[in-house]
Amino acid sequence: MDALCRRTLALGIVGGLAVLAGEARADKGYYPNIGMDYSAVMQYDFNRAEGDGAIAPRNTTDFYPDIQSSFYVRFSPNDQIRLSTELNPINPPAAGEKRTFGGIGLVVNELNYYKLTQHTQLQVGKLQVPFGRAMDAAPGLYTNDFVSTYDLGGVLGATYAYRWFGQTLGMVQGGVNLYTADTTALSRPFFRSGGRAQRADGGPANTGKLDSYALTVNWDAIPALPFLELQAGYMRNRAGRAQPDTGPADDEVIRVVSARYIWAPDSSADLDTTLRGRYFDIVPLVEYAAVRNEDAVAGNDTRYLTTSVTIDYGRWVVGATRTDKRRPWAPGAGRHDYLNELSCGYRLTGQLTVALSAGSQAQGGEDSNLVGFALTYSGAH
């Protein structure tokens, strides 16, 4: 459920709408035509810092909209130009801040040409690198931010994927992605102060050249295990300029493997059960990512392990997620960060969903208790 996969920082109350860029399209059947997908969220977050390392004041709140939209100009069922934008807070609130509709700006997430055929998929322009699944598939409001190191979006380049179909193997899709960080005018936030990204900022893939890349293999629809989804990937992000406060720079290298399974009893798979709102399934997910030189900082090697389970029943979805992060040891912070999260969502209508999430996390030696509440409205035209 999309509402449970949204990013956020702290405890919450919410009510609202938001635009979620997706692949669903309301196609008019004649070409060329235009369309839009959207999702609007109103969210309230609360974060209470705990432990000796917490900075006073300990409570931080944030109430904000998160509106995402994708606009399409379609030349055929398989050719289109896509513009995806997001209106939400550009930066998290400061520790102890009680913020309401603060720091909001508009960013362009995607502006690209998209081509789809029976076996191939091509994107060229500003895009999201399809790498890793935890940020989208794990339930809850916080995982997306916690694993954002390998959620690479808003880069300039191209992605190409080819799908093979077989009666014994199922579907295997290989992908090649070539890109660089966006430092054009599209990298700046609109409707608020803030400059565009610069080469001098350094960081992963910020070289001004198409020399960063990612390779992925997805394997699913296996006849023997039709509801098993597997992914493996390798990513190398060339290091930009070294920063004075981080030390020497080096290429960021990420390896990821994940497995997701959908288990649904036979009694819940028929159409009558689904229409009566009694569909039931259990979806476990496990993903491991090994990162060398995270953020393109030499020696900053980390490891992420995300495990989750999602239960769908009718209009309800309940989930539990645990992400462990191992990183270089630091005085007062150790080397173990984590995120625990329980979440629950209910689809009020076909377009309106309410979600509640609560959890705890440790980052850099500071412990926090998190609660978030969000109301999401989505649709397409």
Q: Give pLDDT tens digits for 312-341.
A: 998 999 999 999 999 999 887 889 999 999
The whole-number average pLDDT for the span 151-172 is: 93
The reported pLDDT for the residue numbered 246 is 86
**93 pLDDT above the threshold of 50:** yes
**238 pLDDT above the threshold of 80:** yes
Mean confidence (pLDDT) of the chain? 88
Residue 351 has a CB neighbour count (10 Å cut-off) of 13
6 falls in which pLDDT band (50, 70, 90)? very low
Residues 6+ apart with CB under 8 A from 341: 139, 140, 141, 142, 143, 319, 320, 321, 322, 357, 358, 359, 370
Contact criterion met (CB below 8 Å) for 281 and 318: no
State pLDDT tens for residues 254-285.
Answer: 999 999 999 988 655 565 665 566 788 999 99
Radius of gyration of the chain (CA): 21
Residues 6+ apart with CB under 8 A from 168: 223
The whole-number average pLDDT for the span 209-228 is: 94
Residues 6+ apart with CB under 8 A from 197: 181, 182, 183, 187, 188, 206
DSSP 8-class letter at 97: -
Euclidean distance between CA atoms 341 and 62, whole angstroms: 19
Give the pairing of strands 59-76 and 98-100: parallel
The reported pLDDT for the residue numbered 107 is 94
Within the chain, residue ranges assigned H as helices are 134-137, 143-146, 271-275
**4 pLDDT above the threshold of 80:** no
The whole-number average pLDDT for the span 189-215 is: 91
Euclidean distance between CA atoms 282 and 262, whole angstroms: 6
φ/ψ (deg, to 5) at 200: -65, -15
Answer whether 0.85 is exceeded by the pTM: yes
Number of helical H runs and strand E runs in the chain: 3, 17
Residue 223 has a CB neighbour count (10 Å cut-off) of 10
State pLDDT tens for residues 49-65.
Answer: 987 656 667 899 999 99
Euclidean distance between CA atoms 63 and 374, whole angstroms: 10
The reported pLDDT for the residue numbered 25 is 45
The reported pLDDT for the residue numbered 365 is 84
**12 pLDDT above the threshold of 90:** no
Q: What percent of the chain has pLDDT above 90?
A: 70
Q: What percent of the chain has pLDDT above 70?
A: 88
b/e sequence 30-41, b meaning 16+ C-beta within 10 Å? eeeeebebbbbb
**1 pLDDT above the threshold of 60:** no
Beta-ladder partners of 21: none
Q: What is the SS3 assignment for 149-189? A: HHCCCCEEEEEEEEEEEECCCEEEEEEEEEEEECCCHHHCC
**16 pLDDT above the threshold of 50:** no
The reported pLDDT for the residue numbered 276 is 62
State pLDDT tens for residues 338-363.
Answer: 999 999 999 999 899 999 999 999 98
**9 pLDDT above the threshold of 60:** no
Chain Cα centroid distance, residue 288: 16
The reported pLDDT for the residue numbered 7 is 37
Tokens encoding 137 = 């598939």
Contact criterion met (CB below 8 Å) for 237 and 252: yes
φ/ψ (deg, to 5) at 134: -60, -40
The reported pLDDT for the residue numbered 196 is 86
Give the pairing of strands 33-50 and 334-347: unpaired
**296 pLDDT above the threshold of 70:** yes
Chain Cα centroid distance, residue 333: 26
φ/ψ (deg, to 5) at 268: -105, 0
The reported pLDDT for the residue numbered 380 is 84
The whole-number average pLDDT for the span 369-381 is: 93
